[in-house]
Amino acid sequence: MTPGDLIAILQRTLWAMLAVGGPIVGATMVVGLIVSILQAATQVNEATLTFVPKLIVVAAILLIAGPGMLQQLIELTRWVFATAVTVAR
């Protein structure tokens, strides 16, 4: 295995991780910021008020983009196994 092979595997894995986890983390951050601003404005400090909207948004994103995310993970897994065969020689 050359350093170039290892870098290619790590790079492709990082991009897949960003593509799969990025929308969930980004949406959760936006919802958390909005809820925090609303809590600061209304002075309502309830823990479930931040948890429930984030849970709903994550579930919606997984329902909408879940099949695409799963497809990216499947493609990455196939590519890693195919690359492992050529790299192991």
- Asked if residues 87 and 6 have their Cβ atoms less than 8 Å apart, the reply is no
Distance separating alpha carbons of residues 76 and 89, to the nearest angstrom: 20
Q: Are 57 and 32 in contact (CB under 8 A)?
A: no
Closest CA to 70 of 20, 13, 18: 20
Q: Measured between alpha carbons, how far is residue 13 from residues 40, 72, 80, 88 in Å?
A: 39, 10, 9, 18
What percent of the chain has a predicted confidence (pLDDT) above 90?
62
- Domain parsing of the chain, residue ranges: 3-87
Residue 28: per-residue pLDDT: 95
Higher pLDDT, 54 or 47: 54
Rounded distance, CA 37 to CA 13, Å? 35
**Two tokens, residue 42:** 């209304």
Q: Is the pLDDT of residue 21 over 90?
A: yes
**Residues comprising the chain, all counted:** 89
